[in-house]
Amino acid sequence: MIRRIVRARTSICISALVCALAWLFAGRELVAQAVLAVPAGLPDWTFNIPDKIQPTAVKVEGVVKAPGSAKEYEAARIAGNATPPDWFPDEHPAAPPSVKGGPGITLACGSCHLMSGQGHSESADLAGMPAEYLIRQMAYYEAGTRKDDARMGPLAKTTSDKDVREAAEYFAALKPSVFVKVIETATPPKTFIATAGRHRQLHPDGGTEPIGRRILQIPADPFRTEIRDPHSGFIAYVPPGSIARGKALVTAPASGKTVRCGICHGETLQGLGEVPRLAGLQPLYIARQLFDMRYGSSAGKAAELMKPVVGKLTDDDIIAMSAYLGSLPPR
C-alpha cells in the first residue's frame, strides 16, 4: 500500500484536476479502477486519459444487437465488467468463468479483452499469444514490475493461479484476424477521449487537426465497440511515411541503433516460442508498451531481453515501428 502511494506521488499528473483527484483517492486505492496518471516523460496520447470536456457520448440503451449475431442483450447487463456479451459463441471454444464471468467474478477478462481476445486499444490483444507468455505477464503485473495500477495490477493480485491458467489457455487457442486499419495522414479528423471505455472518438464538431508526433486510434464504429462487438475493429491514424520508416527500422540488420526484431519475435513477426506476436497488434498498444519498457514501467525477467532493444529508440522510431507492425496481418 505504502509503495503504491509513493509511486502515485512520483508520477506526473497530467492536469491539476487529475492531480487533485489522485490525492483524494491516494488513501483509498482499493477502488478497482484507480485514477489514471501518466508516468513522467511518457506521452499521454498512448494512455487514453479521458478529456475533461466530453462533447458527446455514445448512448447504449434498451435491448442491443450486433450485426450478424443472433444474440441480443439488455444494455445494462453488458455495461459493467462482470458479464461481457458473447456475440459469436460459435467462433471460440468454451470459455472458463474467469473469461466469461461467473459467481464471485467482477472483472471478467472477456469484458476488456473481448471474447475474441483482440481487445480495445487501451487494453491488449491476447488472441493466439503463447499461454506461458500471458501467465508470465500476469505474474509481472502481480509483482508490480509491469505497472498498470488501475486495472491489471489489482486484478492479477486477486485472480487465482487456476483462473489465470484457464484464461491464458483460452486466449492462446484463439485465432487473431485483422482488427486495425492503419492510415497515414497529416490531418486526421478531430477527436476527443471519451470517459466511457476510454476510447478516442470523432469530435461532433467535425474538422481535422494536425497529427503531430502521435498515433491516434479510434473505433471504426463507436457504438459497436461500446457493445464489445468483436467484429468491429479500429482505425489508427499515423504520421505520413511511418509505415515505410517502421519497416526499414524493424527489418534492418542489427546495427549500433537497432536490433532486428525478427530474431526473437520470428522472421514474420508472428511470434516465436514464448515470445509474443507483434504483427497486427494495435499500434497504440505497441507504442505504449515500447514507451513503458524504455521508461522501465514494464519489466520482468524475460522482458529484460527488450531492454537493449528499446534503450536507443526515439519517440519517432517507436511511432514508426508501431505503425508498421500494426499494419501487418496477424495469423
Residue 106 Cα to chain centre, angstroms: 20
Specify the amino acid at residue 178. V
How many chain residues interact with ligand HEC (CB under 6 A)?
45
Euclidean distance between CA atoms 145 and 125, whole angstroms: 20
Euclidean distance between CA atoms 258 and 204, whole angstroms: 41
> Smallest distance from the beta carbon of 165 to ligand HEC, in angstroms?
9
Among 278, 284, 323, 328, binds ligand HEC (CB under 6 A): 278
Return the range that interacts with ligand HEC (CB under 6 A); candidates 35-43, 50-58, 120-128, 216-224: 120-128
148 binds ligand HEC per the rule CB under 6 A: yes
Query: Which residue has cell 484457464?
Result: 166
38 binds ligand HEC per the rule CB under 6 A: no
Return the range that interacts with ligand HEC (CB under 6 A); candidates 36-44, 185-193, 202-210, 259-267: 259-267
Among 13, 109, 194, 216, binds ligand HEC (CB under 6 A): 109
> Smallest distance from the beta carbon of 279 to ligand HEC, in angstroms?
11
What are 82's three cell numbers? 462482470
What is the contact mask toward ligand HEC in residues 150 to 189, using x (rule: CB under 6 A)? -xx--x---x----x--x----------------------
Among 112, 174, 182, 323, binds ligand HEC (CB under 6 A): 112
Q: Are 330 and 176 in contact (CB under 8 A)?
A: yes
Cβ proximity to ligand HEC: between 65 and 312 the closer is 312
Among 114, 218, 243, 286, binds ligand HEC (CB under 6 A): 286
> Smallest distance from the beta carbon of 249 to ligand HEC, in angstroms?
7
Burial letters for 170-189: b for 16+ Cβ neighbours within 10 Å, e otherwise?
Answer: bbbebebbebbebebeeebb
131 binds ligand HEC per the rule CB under 6 A: no
How many other CB atoms are there within 10 angstroms of residue 30's CB atom?
Answer: 9
> Smallest distance from the beta carbon of 264 to ligand HEC, in angstroms?
3
302 binds ligand HEC per the rule CB under 6 A: yes
* Spatial CB neighbours of 21, under 8 Å, sequence gap ≥ 6: 35
228 binds ligand HEC per the rule CB under 6 A: no
Q: Which of 224, 178, 183, 179 is nearest to 201 (CA)?
A: 224
Euclidean distance between CA atoms 223 and 331, whole angstroms: 27
245 binds ligand HEC per the rule CB under 6 A: no
Q: Which of 239, 246, 271, 260 is nearest to 326 (CA)?
A: 246
Please give the residues from 184 up to 223 whose contact with ligand HEC meets the rule CB under 6 A: none
Cβ proximity to ligand HEC: between 205 and 255 the closer is 255
Among 8, 13, 78, 138, binds ligand HEC (CB under 6 A): 138
How many other CB atoms are there within 10 angstroms of residue 44's CB atom?
Answer: 15
Query: Which residue has cell 509511486?
Result: 7
Q: Are 278 and 325 in contact (CB under 8 A)?
A: yes
Q: Which of 31, 168, 202 is nearest to 99 (CA)?
A: 168
* Sites of contact with ligand HEC (CB under 6 A): 81, 98, 107, 109, 111-113, 122-124, 126, 129, 133-134, 136-138, 148, 151-152, 155, 159, 164, 167, 250, 258-259, 261, 263-265, 275-276, 278, 286, 288-290, 300, 302-303, 305-306, 309, 321
